[in-house]
């Protein structure tokens, strides 16, 4: 008997565990953000669970497949489609009234107008309904009438919102042309805010094959169409916000549409992002790739809400997460998740906002979860509000508070940097802009800092520049007169770099006819090229740096430089043998190595200049890099043409065939590597299975 009582009590405690954990402040998710390198970084909780309320707790009885909700003033309208009713509550989720109507069965969207009339997107009955404040049907319309509407479009409205000029904007399933805009009687006004076709590798490949295929073959291929919208919202100023549940290239899933249907949602400059990272420049949701049951998953936005302060709340139906953005697309925080604990979701379908709280409706659990901001989250929103209004000095203390709790939150560092910049503390501003990876802000602060340095030390800088020029001139003259390197390695084989650069035809001929130069010297130059690449990666100025030191793989750089060098020598030797080239392997090795000296010098020069130039002067670095590369290519062309005794046309063909040969060799090596990796994996699996068997 005692054992039975013990088991009974234990079962009760287990059943109450979610409630107890929630009451103790436990949340079943972590809050995080992303840095400029596309890496998730943990941050303190921004939103915590206030409560999770079912229909029974509301006082309306159990909800059945609720599909949407909408807030108007201090009332929350819940579309309880399974029960064919609308449940109206106050913001504390206390029942005020229910509106029953059999037309609501299968409805998926609700919008309440200022006069309390209710718009319903009835997907199953393929109509838009207008109800009076008591829930009685006033009128309805089906598929909009207009020549813009395709005849084959099946009208399955998912959401509906009301705009100005008696316009309705309808999210329709299968409508890839955009939102359907109509008047209140259902007369079409055309499509609004259509998505563009995402340019992906698959799209480009399809376009290529369609040019080659016959008409019958093209008709058998799938058409490339834009992605359809999944939900929409409208703010107090009349701007429409729309989200897509998927994107072929995971870009622009959230849009802010002006009256003409153009996306005007501001994004951050791509200068602040690492190569390949598109955070805050059009890529919304999770940046890191997710995996579920061995398959990659991406964020699927199924609803969006814009509050009166310009904050956006986008609901991810794939992982049950809420993404909060400001009006410049800066990700502020992520919270929520899937699961069985209180505060987690099974099938989230709708999101609302009121009095600093976020409401999420779960269709499967038939409950509403309310999230409220923590003091940390409230500080972020207040700081962002002041910052976006240009009140930088007032936001500074709030940003410092946020930064103290989350040093990796880049927006806080940007806010502090902007405040210090406005105060004239350019050194401090540069420090925080660097921490935020904000190159635009750093550029402004650095420009002012550089002006001050030049103004205070102008005479000293001129003297140092004159000394540097004099030393360089003296060194050049000394090398020309004394030839220290020639004395060291022997004048008969020594090939001065300056001689090769200034007289490439004569120098290349000397390599072929008089054995000038050595392979060792060429390898030294290639080694210097390698070193210059690594130095450029590690020591370039912040404004132009695209690598982190911890991400630089020196071994990969070594393999890259010398694999290309060796591959070129091997393929050129093979091609030249077939084309009756006269150059020896050593000749090609020498002229190739010497030809890359300008590129090496260009790397070092741009690295040094990158520490003193601003973004507006960055074209100088691009010009230097381009000139050094072109110079190296010209030297290589002259060298190959001279040592092989080829005409210009044959030399061009020789180099082209060499590059093709390199591609073939590297492709075969990659193929062999892939097959070998699969073989190793296969043998490993067999060995593991063998161990389990015995």
pLDDT of 468? 82
Angle at 243 between CA 241 and CA 245, to 5 degrees: 170
**CA–CA distance, 256 with 329 (Å, rounded to integer):** 10
Written as six digits, the tokens of 105 are 């069965």
**CA–CA distance, 463 with 420 (Å, rounded to integer):** 33
Whole-angstrom CA distances from 172 to 129, 166, 210, 299 are 14, 19, 30, 20
Cβ atoms 101, 84 nearer than 8 A:
yes
**CA–CA distance, 250 with 227 (Å, rounded to integer):** 11
**Average pLDDT of the chain, as a whole number:** 85
Span 519-577, pLDDT tens digits: 999 999 999 999 999 999 999 999 998 888 888 888 889 999 999 999 999 999 888 88
Residue 657 clears pLDDT 80, i.e. is over it: yes
Is residue 310 helix, strand or coil? coil
Rg (CA), the chain: 33
Span 431-466, pLDDT tens digits: 999 999 888 899 999 999 999 888 888 778 778 888
Cβ atoms 120, 129 nearer than 8 A:
yes
**CA–CA distance, 35 with 41 (Å, rounded to integer):** 7
Average pLDDT over residues 122-135: 94
pLDDT of 75? 95
E strand or H helix at 442, and its extent?
Answer: helix 439-456
Residue 63 clears pLDDT 70, i.e. is over it: yes
Cβ atoms 397, 382 nearer than 8 A:
no
Nearest Cα to 441, choosing from 418, 425, 422, 419?
418
pLDDT of 164? 81
Domain 13-373 maps to which CATH number in 3.10.450.50, 2.120.10.30, 2.40.170.20, 2.40.37.10? 2.120.10.30
CA 55 to chain centre: 40
Q: Helical H runs in 127-235?
A: 201-212, 215-220
Average pLDDT over residues 597-611: 94
Span 144-168, pLDDT tens digits: 988 888 888 889 999 999 988 889 9
Written as six digits, the tokens of 120 are 């319903």
E strand or H helix at 533, and its extent?
Answer: helix 519-539
Q: Reading across the β-sheet that carries 75-80, which strands appear in turn?
A: 68-72, 75-80, 85-90, 95-100
Which CATH superfamily includes the segment(s) 392-456? Answer: Tetratricopeptide repeat domain (1.25.40.10)
**CA–CA distance, 324 with 331 (Å, rounded to integer):** 6
Residue 16 clears pLDDT 90, i.e. is over it: no
Q: Check residues 619 and 25 and name the one with the higher pLDDT.
A: 619
Residue 203 clears pLDDT 60, i.e. is over it: no
Place of tokens 């609302």: 352
Please give the share of the chain, as a percent, with pLDDT higher than 90. Answer: 54
pLDDT of 250? 60
Q: Helical H runs in 67-224?
A: 201-212, 215-220
CA 454 to chain centre: 38
Domain limits of the chain?
Answer: 13-373, 392-456, 492-679
Contacts 24+ apart (CB under 8 A), 253-262: 253/284, 253/285, 253/299, 253/301, 253/314, 254/284, 254/301, 254/304, 254/312, 254/314, 254/325, 254/329, 255/193, 257/192, 257/193, 261/178, 261/192, 261/193, 261/194, 262/193
Residue 108 clears pLDDT 90, i.e. is over it: yes
pLDDT of 514? 87
**CA–CA distance, 401 with 44 (Å, rounded to integer):** 12
What torsion, rounded to 10 degrees, do the Cα atoms 165, 239, 71, 105 define?
70
Is residue 180 helix, strand or coil? strand
- Asked, colleague to colleague, whether 13-373 and 392-456 share their fold, the answer is no
Average pLDDT over residues 287-311: 81
Return the half-sphere exposure (C-beta side, CA atoms, 13 A cut-off) of residue 184: 13
Nearest Cα to 182, choosing from 125, 119, 236?
119
Average pLDDT over residues 200-225: 54
- Which burial class, exposed, middle or buried, applies to 458 when counting CB atoms under 10 A from its CB (0-12, 13-18, 19+)? exposed
pLDDT of 6? 46
């Amino acid at each position: 008997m005692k054992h039975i009582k013990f088991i009974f009590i234990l079962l009760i405690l287990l059943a109450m565990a979610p409630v107890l954990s929630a009451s103790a402040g436990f949340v079943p998710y972590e809050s995080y953000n992303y840095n400029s390198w596309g890496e998730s970084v943990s941050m303190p909780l921004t939103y915590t669970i206030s409560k999770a309320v079912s229909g029974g707790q509301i006082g309306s009885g159990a909800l059945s497949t609720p599909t949407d909700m909408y807030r108007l003033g201090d009332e929350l309208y819940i579309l309880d489609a399974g029960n064919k009713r609308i449940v109206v509550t106050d913001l504390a989720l206390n029942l005020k009234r229910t509106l029953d109507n059999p037309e609501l069965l299968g409805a998926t969207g609700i919008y309440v107008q200022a006069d309390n009339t209710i718009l319903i997107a009835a997907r199953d009955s393929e109509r838009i309904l207008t109800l009076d404040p008591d829930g009685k049907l006033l009128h309805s319309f089906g598929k909009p009438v207009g020549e813009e509407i395709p005849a084959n479009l099946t009208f399955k409205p998912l959401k509906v919102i009301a705009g100005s000029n008696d316009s309705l904007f309808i999210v329709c399933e299968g409508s890839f042309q955009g939102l359907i805009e109509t008047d209140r009687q259902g007369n079409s006004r055309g499509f609004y805010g259509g998505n563009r076709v995402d340019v992906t590798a698959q799209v480009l490949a399809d376009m290529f094959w369609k040019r080659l295929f016959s008409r019958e073959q093209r008709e058998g291929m799938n058409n490339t169409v834009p992605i359809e919208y999944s939900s929409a919202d409208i703010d107090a100023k009349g701007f429409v916000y729309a989200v897509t549940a998927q994107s072929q290239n995971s870009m622009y899933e959230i849009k802010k549409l002006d009256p003409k249907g153009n996306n005007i949602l501001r994004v951050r400059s791509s200068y602040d992002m690492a190569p390949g990272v598109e955070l805050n420049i059009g890529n919304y949701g999770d940046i890191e790739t997710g995996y579920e049951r061995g398959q990659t998953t991406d964020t699927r936005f199924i609803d969006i809400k814009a509050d009166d302060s310009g904050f956006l709340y986008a609901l991810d139906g794939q992982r049950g997460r809420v993404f909060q953005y400001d009006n410049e697309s800066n990700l502020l925080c992520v919270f929520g998740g899937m699961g069985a604990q209180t505060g987690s979701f099974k099938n989230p379908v709708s999101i609302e906002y009121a009095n600093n709280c976020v409401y999420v409706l779960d269709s499967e659990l038939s409950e509403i979860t309310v999230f409220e901001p923590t003091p940390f989250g409230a500080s972020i929103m207040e700081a962002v509000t002041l910052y976006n209004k240009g009140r930088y000095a007032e936001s500074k203390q709030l940003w410092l508070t946020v930064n103290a709790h989350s040093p990796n939150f880049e927006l806080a560092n940007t806010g502090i940097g902007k405040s210090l910049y406005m105060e004239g503390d350019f050194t401090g501003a540069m420090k925080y802009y660097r921490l935020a990876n904000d190159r635009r802000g750093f550029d402004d602060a650095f420009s002012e800092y550089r002006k001050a340095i030049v103004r205070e030390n102008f005479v000293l800088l001129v003297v140092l520049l004159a000394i540097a020029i004099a030393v360089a001139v003296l060194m050049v003259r000394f090398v020309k007169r004394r030839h220290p390197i020639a004395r060291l390695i022997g004048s008969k084989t020594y090939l001065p770099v300056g001689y090769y650069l200034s007289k490439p035809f004569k120098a290349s001929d000397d390599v072929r006819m008089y054995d000038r130069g050595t392979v060792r010297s060429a390898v030294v130059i290639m080694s210097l090229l390698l070193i210059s690449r690594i130095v450029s990666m590690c020591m370039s100025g912040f404004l132009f740096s695209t690598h982190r030191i911890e991400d630089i793989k020196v071994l990969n750089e070594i393999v890259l430089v010398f694999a290309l060098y060796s591959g070129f020598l091997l393929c050129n030797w093979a091609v030249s043998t077939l084309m009756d080239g006269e150059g020896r392997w050593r000749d090609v090795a020498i002229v190739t190595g010497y030809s890359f000296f300008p590129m090496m010098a260009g790397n070092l020069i741009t690295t040094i200049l990158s520490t003193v130039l601003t973004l507006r002067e960055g074209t100088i670095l691009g010009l230097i890099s381009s000139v050094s590369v072109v110079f190296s290519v010209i030297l290589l062309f002259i060298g190959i043409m001279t040592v092989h005794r080829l005409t210009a046309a044959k030399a061009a063909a020789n180099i082209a065939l060499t590059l093709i040969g390199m591609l073939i060799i590297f492709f075969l090596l990659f193929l062999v590597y892939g097959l070998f990796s699969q073989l190793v994996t296969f043998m490993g699996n067999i060995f593991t299975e063998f161990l389990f068997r015995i």
